[in-house]
Amino acid sequence: MTNRVVVLGATGSIGRQTLDVSWRHRDRFRIVALAAGSDLDGLVALARECGQRGVALQALGLERAADASRARDALASVCPAARIEVGAGSAARLAGECAADAVVNGIVGAAGLDASLATLAAGRRLALANKETLVIGAELVQRALASGGELIPVDSEHSAALLCLGGRPASEVARLTLTASGGPLRDHRNWRQASVAEVLAHPVWAMGRRITVDSALLVNKALELIEARALFGLDWSQLDAVIHPQARFHALVAFRDGALVAQAAAADMRLPIQLALSWPEHWEGPVPPLAAPDLARLDFEAIAPGRFPAFDLGVAVGKAGGTAPCAYNAADEEAVAAFLDGRIPLGRVVEILEQVMAAHDREAVSSRAQLAAVDEWARRAARERVAA
């Protein structure tokens, strides 16, 4: 049987690589619906090429009715028989209501949480590349999983951890270690003043702009540790991260009996995307497996306290739990956007994160509405500090 797949964030890095995987495995699954944030032209081009049952444009920048109507007309022109959704919540509606077996959530930022919850509530497989789903909404996700849905991670580190853990219980795990390349600023003399071009020149991974900045600051790695705790039911004492510049190994699991299991693969996001759709099977992949000589002369080093202050703060936020990760993530989105727009230097991103978190009153997570309110408060607080 051919599985039906919905791709959210279709015009972004994860979305386009998912489409590449689908073209390689046309006999195994097909894309039935696409959603994008605000890239109407990109979505139209993909829909014209693929032919869809459903298309959605979150259209965060299309508040006027005339703009929404124009978007609908453009999508209908290439997919006249498709279900067309435009406006806030469109991706979540498509994920929850379009006939599908799996949803790849490649939406960037907190906007992806609603689509993840809708996917799980509908009992589908969620191939999760939206890290904010678990960073800010882990408690809500656990409740949604009770509806019969399934969550398989797409992040390279969590996909690797899934393989290393092999389904063993958390009680058998001594330590799960995620690796970080260290990003483009690992040896930068004055990283706080690094230019946008320097930050976006990642030496290993080809990713979206926000996640590349987060990778440079190791914010991304802190968020991944928060995710790992939620995904695998581990305590913070069982979690660790190290710098591994060559990015060959993506996760290592030490078991209580002393055994160490590690996963190594080429730095290619198509591998974890494909695994999330094929799990528990392994299909032929887009790149060959590494050979033993590829693992020679590799480096691993601890992340020294103070070297990446945004990482230290992110780990502290994760340990605090509750609404703190939601505020941290929202403040980061706003501060990183300001950096990419040239409004603040990179060092201010870290300072703004510290200031917003110092002002945040942590609460236990109770509802989606509460998280939305915290998200808005943190964004406003970050914007005020950007403008100061």
Q: Which residue has the tokens 């040239």?
A: 342
Alpha-carbon distance 14 to 115, whole Å? Answer: 16
The amino acid at residue 12 is G
DSSP single-letter state for residue 307: T
Which one, of 50, 93, 45, 44, lies nearest residue 73 by Cα?
Answer: 44
Are the CB atoms for 9 and 105 separated by under 8 Å? yes
Is residue 250 classed as helix, strand or coil in its secondary structure? strand
Alpha-carbon distance 51 to 33, whole Å? Answer: 9
* Residue-level pLDDT at 81: 85
Is residue 56 classed as helix, strand or coil in its secondary structure? strand
Compute mean pLDDT per 10 residues along the chain, 388 residues long, and list them: 87 94 91 92 88 80 67 89 89 92 91 94 95 93 90 96 97 97 84 92 81 93 96 97 95 98 94 96 91 93 94 98 97 97 97 98 95 97 96
Torsion of CA 146, 330, 183, 252, to 10 degrees: -20
Alpha-carbon distance 69 to 80, whole Å? Answer: 15
Please state, in angstroms and as integers, the Cα–Cα distance from residue 91 to each residue in 8, 47, 127, 241, 384, following that order: 7, 15, 15, 33, 29
The amino acid at residue 2 is T
64: its two tokens? 């006027």
Residue 206: is it exposed, middle or buried by C-beta count within 10 angstroms (0-12/13-18/19+)?
Answer: exposed
List all residues 6 or more positions away from 65 whose beta carbon is below 8 Å from its beta carbon: none
* Residue-level pLDDT at 184: 82
* Residue-level pLDDT at 63: 54
Which one, of 301, 199, 309, lies nearest residue 246 by Cα?
Answer: 301
Are the CB atoms for 241 and 262 separated by under 8 Å? no
DSSP single-letter state for residue 35: E
255: its two tokens? 């078991």
- Residue 66 Rama label (left phi>0; alpha psi -120 to 50; beta): alpha
Are the CB atoms for 331 and 357 separated by under 8 Å? yes
* Residue-level pLDDT at 60: 53
Alpha-carbon distance 304 to 163, whole Å? Answer: 28
The amino acid at residue 54 is G
Are the CB atoms for 339 and 213 separated by under 8 Å? yes
230: its two tokens? 């939620």
Long-range contacts of 348-352 (CB under 8 A, 24+ apart): 348/386, 349/213, 349/217, 349/310, 350/192, 350/217, 350/309, 350/310, 350/313, 351/385, 352/382, 352/385, 352/386
* Residue-level pLDDT at 343: 97
